[in-house]
Structure 1
């Protein structure tokens, strides 16, 4: 696949390197390194949006029609402040704001629940179980592309609903980050095994 990455930070580097290892052609660009438009135009199969949340709407809106028809993967988290709060409370999810700023792009929320160090693992398997990656999106073909990219990392994709449920993934990230960073807690321990999850 031809994958463009908007951003050149840690998440962009971690995911981009893994996809290159899987045989994909990856071009990354940012305001400081490379060219964002070149990266977007390269990503005929998928474009990963991996810039700080404060910059996402400006970046995608500035690309105009360059993202039209593209599978746009949003791995950003609208989380900030000393208490790691959700910055979109009371309004649309970050993924929905991105979709509104990039009309015609096929947005899929994914890869937002883990630190970049996890994406550098080859593969990310814990206790013999591959990491599961929840996806939210409305376009089945776009979801299929992202499922493929998830499996290329050695992970398992999970359908988490349409883009209208992306806010739940973003809120989950805010909760997990607070538990991990502020409380030093094993956040994975909050979920029981499937057989105890109820029917």
Structure 2
């Protein structure tokens, strides 16, 4: 079943790019600004297009509203003062979020994509692919369905434990872009 309503926290480049993909596939999208105090989360699919440091605040403020919903963490947990990953090697931002939201279905996705490749729907000559990790097969299939309905590919990357590896890939891609070895309109791709 394709979700018809999604809530996206964050209206930056990634929030806008993801909204464009979802809307192109027929999903109704609403945005919540992270500074909102009393916002209502209407979507059954919730995308957290915010910095890693905002996750705990959102979980604290909106945890009750997120119960029973698919919550997608797109963050790359980078400490921008040291430019290193900010979570221990045996954890991920997604696993921390899942622990903070035990009544939600947490997925990791979009963190290995740049906004530019979501908008263009391509990375070089290849289609953009969203890698999805999570422990709920139906939730992963639902997210994959709304993504592919929007015109890009999606691959089930495995359990939520794989989020650590996805975050490492996202971190490497970000390092390469910051060093101007790849562009923010490019990035890694998956060919089938």
Q: Deviations over 1:72-124 (max 9, x none)?
A: 11111102336632111335200001111111111111111122122222x33
Secondary structure at the counterpart of residue 4 of structure 1: strand
Contact 1:93 1:170 (8 Å CA) reproduced: yes
Q: 2:150 matched to 1:153?
A: yes
Q: How has the CA–CA distance of structure 1 residues 112 and 192 changed in structure 2, closer, same or farther, with 3 Å as cutoff? A: closer
Q: CA RMSD in A?
A: 2.7
Q: Deviations over 1:46-97 (max 9, x none)?
A: 1101111111111122212211110111111102336632111335200001
| Number of residue pairs the alignment of both structures matches | 188
**How much has 1:6 moved relative to structure 2?**
1.5
Larger-Rg structure: 1
Contact 1:70 1:105 (8 Å CA) reproduced: yes
Moved more, 49-58 or 150-159: 150-159
Query: Where does structure 1 lack aligned partners over 5 or more consecutive residues?
Result: 195-199
Secondary structure at the counterpart of residue 63 of structure 1: helix
More helix by share: 1
Alpha-carbon separation, structure 2, partners of 1:172 and 1:149: 23
Instruction: Please give the residue correspondences for 1:140-179 in structure 2 after superposition, counting only pairs within 5 Å.
Output: 140-179=137-176
1:3 is aligned to 6
1:65 is aligned to 64
Query: Where does structure 2 lack aligned partners over 5 or more consecutive residues?
Result: none
Q: Which structure 1 residue ranges, 4+ long, deviate > 6 Å from structure 2?
A: 188-194
Q: Deviations over 1:141-188 (max 9, x none)?
A: 1001111122123222122110011011001111111122225258x8
Structure with the larger RCO, 1 or 2 (CA within 8 Å, 6+ apart): 2
Secondary structure at the counterpart of residue 158 of structure 2: coil
- In the superposition, the TM-score normalised over structure 2's length comes to 0.85
- In the superposition, the TM-score normalised over structure 1's length comes to 0.83
Instruction: Please give the residue correspondences for 1:44-123 in structure 2 after superposition, counting only pairs within 5 Å.
Output: 44=44, 46-81=45-80, 84-121=83-120, 123=121
